[in-house]
A and B are shown apart, each in its own frame.
Chain A
C-alpha cells in the first residue's frame, strides 16, 4: 500500500467517526461503561490487597533467646535470621529495652515491678517481619530450630485471618473481573456488529468496485481505535474524579484511619499506569472489535452471495 493510500484510509477512519456519529457514540458509551466496570473492579481489588498488605507489614514476630546467651552468639543468631528466605527485617531487642517497654505498658501495676527490684526476668530477643505472611508457619519452624532460641511468639490467628481474607478477596475479585470482562466483550461485540451492519450497503458498494478486504477493514480499524481511545481518556477522567472524591470523603470522616485502612493508594501515584491501561485497552478493544465484526460481515456476505 502506498503512503498516499495509507493516509487516505486513516483520514477516512477519522471522517467516518463524525459521519457515523450516532453509532460511533453508541460504541463509545459501551466501551466507556465496560472500561469503567472492569477498571474500577481492578482498582478496588488492588486497594484491598494494599490494605491487607499494610496490615501484614505491621505484623511482628518476636524471637526470644535462652537466658544467658553470650553477646557473640546473639550476634550470630541475628545473622542467621537475616539470611532466612522469608525474613524482611530483623531488629535486636535487648532485655533492658524490653523491660522498660513492659514497665511502660503495665504502668498501672507498678507494685509488680517494685517487688522485682532490679531483677529483669525478660530474655534478649529479636523482632522480625516476614515478607510473605502465607509462609509464616515454615518461617516459625525454621526460627525455632535455631540453637539458643527459647521460643517464638507470633499472632497466629491474625495471620490466618489475613491469609484467608486475601485468598477470598482474590477469588471473588477475579471472578467478578472475569465476569465483567465477558459481559463487556459480548456487549462490545454486539455494538460493533450493529455498527458494521448499519453500513452493510457501503461495504457492498466497496466490494462491487473491487476493494480488497484489507482496504474495507482499515478505516473500520481506525474508527474503532479512535472510539476506544476516547473511551479510555474519559474513563481515566471519570475514575480520577470518582476515586479522589471517595478517598476525600472517607478521609474527611476519619473512616480510613478508624478502620485502619490508611494504605489506600493515592490516585496521583497510579494515574500513569491507570491512564495507559485504560487508553491502550480501550483502543485495542475498539480496533479489534471493529475489525473482527467487519471480517465476520465480509465472510457472511461472501458465504451468502
Chain B
C-alpha cells in the first residue's frame, strides 16, 4: 500500500517545488498509471517512494513503513520490499543476466537452493531463460528491460514501481510489457507505472493519476480500449 498525505517537496538548490500538497492512496493489489509531462513531478514521486528523497512536509507510507520517520539503517530493509524497473534498466554491466537477477536474493541472504529455484523461474516468466549467461551489453533493449523486470520480481515484492519502462522499447514490445505487468498484478502485486505514453494508457485503461506542476490534477479509473470494445 502506498499513501501520501499532504506531501510537499522543494529542491533546496533551485527552490523549485516539485510536489505541492499531494495526497493519494494506492491500495494493495491495485494497478495505477502515473502520467504527466516532463518536469511535472513524476520522478520526484518515485524518488520519494524509494526513500531517495525526503518530503519537506506531509507523510509518506509505503508497504507499512512510515518513510518520514524511517531511520537510515532501515532503508535497505525497506527497499527490499519494493521492486523497481527503471527506464535505463540499471543492470550491472559486469554481471550476467542470471547474476543480475540473483543479486537481489543474495542481498537478502537467501539460501542457495532458493536462488537456484527462483531465478530460472522469473527468467522464464519474462522469456529470458535462454539468456542466462549473457551480459547486458549482449541483449537488445527489450531484453534488458525484461531482465530489469525479472530482477524487480525475483524477491516477490509487494509493490512494483516501473519508471517509464516502455520508454526505450518499440511500441509492440511496450504493449507486451504492460500486458506482462498486468499478469503480475493479477497475481496480487501492487503496480505503479510511470509513463509518458498517453495513447498506451488510454488503450489499457484503469486507474490514471495525472501529475501537473507538482499537483495531482486527475485521479480516476477510466475504461480502456479493450474494456470499451467488450
Contacts and interface: CB of A to CB of B under 8 A. Distances in A.
Contacts of A208: 50, 79, 84, 86, 90
Nearest to A16: B94
B79 to A, nearest CB: 4
B77 A1 contact: no
Contacts of B72: 302
Contacts of A212: 76, 107
Interface residues of B, number: 26
Interface residues of A, number: 23
B94 A210 contact: no
A161 interface: no
A20 B107 contact: no
Contacts of A8: 106
A5 interface: yes
Contacts of B90: 201, 204-205, 208
Given A19-B94, A305-B53, A209 B104 contact: yes
B15 interface: no
A214 B93 CA distance: 21
A93 interface: no
Contact of A209 (B52, B79, B93): B79
A204 B86 CA distance: 12
A123 B53 CA distance: 94
A216 B25 CA distance: 33
A92 to B, nearest CB: 76
A2 B93 CA distance: 26
A202 B92 contact: yes
A259 B107 CA distance: 65
B53 A210 contact: no
A215 B50 CA distance: 19
Given A210-B76, A305-B52, 12 more contacts: A4-B111, A4-B112, A201-B90, A206-B92, A206-B103, A209-B103, A209-B104, A210-B79, A210-B108, A211-B76, A211-B107, A215-B107
15 contacts: A1-B109, A4-B111, A4-B112, A8-B106, A16-B94, A20-B94, A202-B94, A205-B92, A207-B79, A208-B90, A209-B103, A209-B104, A210-B78, A210-B79, A210-B80
